[in-house]
């Protein structure tokens, strides 16, 4: 186990949890999300049935994943696209760098994709002298702030209006009291020139459509559409789990993603790209390359029950529902994927030894499983991650001894009652147990009489 990674997590969690400005901003933004999503769910006559259908669909995809991937590859190539397979992030970065060299581009316009964050595309572009420009407004904000996306769906969720106005004032000289509308228009005008001049556009894919060999993109700003339609080359970077059997599944999945992600009926721009521009078409790229990324997904796929996590459609609902995420924020996880889904998949994608502690950072309240549109049993998977970490001896020896002692004590009524409450209070103070809760919470006092004795007294007196 990496003590350094876990200790950093604990220190960051303690710091962020009591940053009241941060908590107020997150609380405000998530409350707006909750209201929108509540309305979005009410538009369904039977949202439970929709989730059941989506869950069955995604499990069928996972059952036949290799078949669907090969079907997609064959049909995408037939459409004129190129398909590349990347076992890890380095292979994917090498493919992207090669394509950019072949194109002679010095600028890359990039539409929001957590997969590109996963392999640090922006860092590689900087190292090779290519300017990578985020075109999603939230991603643009955090890029200019020198930060990473805070949230799967809303990258700048942790920033208030004032934070963004201050940032833009320092970076671009916009008015210090500029409205969100003013700043949005400013960014739109600024990015328009980048779209016109860029030779290469890079996007992710919400879904890969096996039967059609096409990719499906859904977004609210039109930046994704501009990223793939104006540059000469369109690169798609997508995880191998993004497969759907067919275009005909989008009528279920797109509205469900929108309802859980933003509360909308459907997002504003919905595109299906079947390949590069055809000879009789005026718009679109001359070349399209789809990179299918593994990067630990096969490891997760072969982990039995844990493979269910690959059904995730990245709606972000579990993050917004999680009481831990609401308190410690997105950056504390030190991972591209945060919240409950991140705590499940990161130990498998980036190493159990380094990131197993994330699976212990959960109250197991079950809200994440309740809101998941594809019914991933996230609390169960968190528990299985914990068990795996314990079985592999990755937890501290002291923790093991304490848990064994607690287990023996809880199994014995005699041991639980021994000494009485006053004795337990003295011993807990001497052992420094109260320090486990930090200096901002009080350790509860044991009552002078145990529950079992109180119960016996009550029964004898009744």
pLDDT, position 421: 77
Task: State the Cα–Cα distance between residues 230 and 224, nearest whole angstrom.
Answer: 10
Q: How far is CA 202 from CA 82, 117, 230, 335, in A?
A: 14, 12, 11, 22
pLDDT of 440 over the 90 cut? no
Q: Are strands 287-293 and 233-239 parallel, antiparallel or unpaired?
A: parallel
43-57 per-position pLDDT tens digit: 999 999 999 999 999
Q: Is the pLDDT of residue 253 over 90?
A: yes
Q: What angle do CA 411, 416, 422 make, to 5 degrees?
A: 165
Where are the CATH 3.40.50.10420 domain residues in the chain? 43-295
Question: Over 80: is that where the pLDDT of 250 sits?
Answer: yes
State in Å, rounded, how far the first CA of the chain is from the last one. Answer: 54
Cα–chain center distance at 377: 16
- Average pLDDT of the residues in 3-17: 90
Give 273's pLDDT tier (boundaries 50, 70, 90): very high
**Length of the chain as a residue count:** 462
pLDDT tens, position by position, 350-363:
999 999 999 999 99
Q: Whole-number mean pLDDT of the chain? A: 93
Measure the CA dihedral 357/142/111/181, to 10°: 130
Determine the topology of domain 43-295 in CATH. Rossmann fold (3.40.50)
Which positions ≥6 away from 65 have C-beta within 8 Å?
A: 240, 241, 243, 301, 310
- pLDDT tens, residue by residue, 302-321: 998 999 999 999 999 999 99
The span from the CA of 70 to the CA of 67, in Å, is 5
Q: What is the mean pLDDT of residues 383-394?
A: 93
Q: Residue 153 corresponds to which tokens in the numbers above?
A: 């769906």
Yes or no: say if 430 and 401 are a contact pair by the CB < 8 Å rule: no
Are 365 and 398 contacting, i.e. CB atoms less than 8 angstroms apart? no
What's residue 417's pLDDT?
77
Give me the percent of the chain exceeding a pLDDT of 70.
99
What pLDDT does residue 215 have?
97
Q: What pLDDT does 373 receive?
A: 98
* pLDDT attached to residue 226: 95
Q: Quick one: residue 284, left, alpha or beta (phi over 0 = left, psi -120 to 50 = alpha)?
A: left
Please, are residues 232 and 285 in contact by the beta-carbon 8 Å criterion?
Answer: yes
The pLDDT, as a whole number, for residue 2 is 59
What pLDDT does residue 1 have?
A: 43
């Amino acid at each position: 186990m990496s003590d350094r990674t876990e200790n950093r997590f604990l220190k960051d969690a303690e710091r962020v949890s009591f940053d009241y400005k941060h908590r107020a901003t997150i609380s405000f933004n998530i409350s707006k999300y909750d209201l929108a999503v509540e309305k979005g769910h009410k538009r369904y006559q039977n949202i439970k049935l929709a989730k059941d259908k989506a869950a069955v669909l995604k499990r069928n995809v996972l059952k036949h994943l290799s078949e669907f991937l090969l079907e997609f590859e064959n049909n995408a190539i037939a459409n004129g696209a190129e398909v590349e397979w990347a076992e890890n992030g380095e292979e994917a970065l090498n493919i992207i760098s090669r394509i950019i060299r072949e194109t002679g581009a010095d600028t890359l316009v990039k539409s929001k994709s957590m997969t590109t964050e996963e392999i640090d595309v922006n860092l590689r572009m900087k190292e090779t002298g290519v300017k990578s420009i985020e075109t999603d407004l939230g991603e643009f904000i955090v890029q200019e702030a020198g930060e990473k996306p805070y949230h799967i769906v809303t990258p700048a969720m942790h920033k208030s209006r004032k934070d963004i106005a201050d940032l833009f004032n320092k970076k671009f000289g916009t008015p210090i009291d500029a409205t969100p509308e003013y700043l949005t228009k400013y960014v739109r005008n600024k990015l328009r020139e980048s779209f016109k001049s860029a030779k290469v556009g890079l996007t992710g894919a919400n879904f890969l459509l096996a039967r059609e060999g096409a990719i499906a993109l859904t977004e609210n700003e039109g930046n994704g559409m501009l990223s793939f339609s104006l540059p000469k080359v369109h690169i798609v970077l997508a995880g191998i789990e993004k497969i759907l059997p067919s275009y005909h599944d989008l009528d279920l999945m797109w509205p469900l993603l929108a309802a859980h992600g933003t509360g909308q009926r459907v997002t504003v721009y919905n595109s299906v790209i079947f390949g590069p521009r055809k000879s009789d078409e005026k718009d679109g790229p001359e070349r399209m390359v789809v990179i299918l990324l593994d990067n630990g997904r096969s490891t997760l796929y072969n982990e039995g029950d844990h493979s269910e996590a690959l059904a995730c459609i990245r709606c972000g609902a579990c993050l917004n529902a999680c009481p831990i995420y609401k308190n410690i924020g997105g950056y504390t996880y030190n991972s591209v994927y945060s919240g409950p889904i991140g705590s499940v998949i990161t130990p498998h994608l980036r190493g159990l030894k380094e990131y197993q502690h994330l699976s212990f950072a959960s109250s197991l309240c079950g809200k994440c499983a309740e809101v998941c549109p594809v019914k991933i049993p996230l609390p169960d998977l968190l528990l299985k991650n914990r068990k795996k970490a314990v079985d592999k001896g990755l937890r501290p020896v002291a923790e093991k001894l304490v848990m064994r002692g607690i287990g023996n004590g809880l199994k014995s009524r005699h041991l639980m009652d021994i000494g009485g409450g006053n004795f337990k209070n003295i011993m807990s103070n001497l052992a420094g147990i109260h320090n486990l809760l930090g200096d901002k919470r009080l350790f509860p006092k044991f009552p002078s009489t145990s529950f079992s004795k109180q119960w016996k007294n009550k029964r004898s007196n009744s």
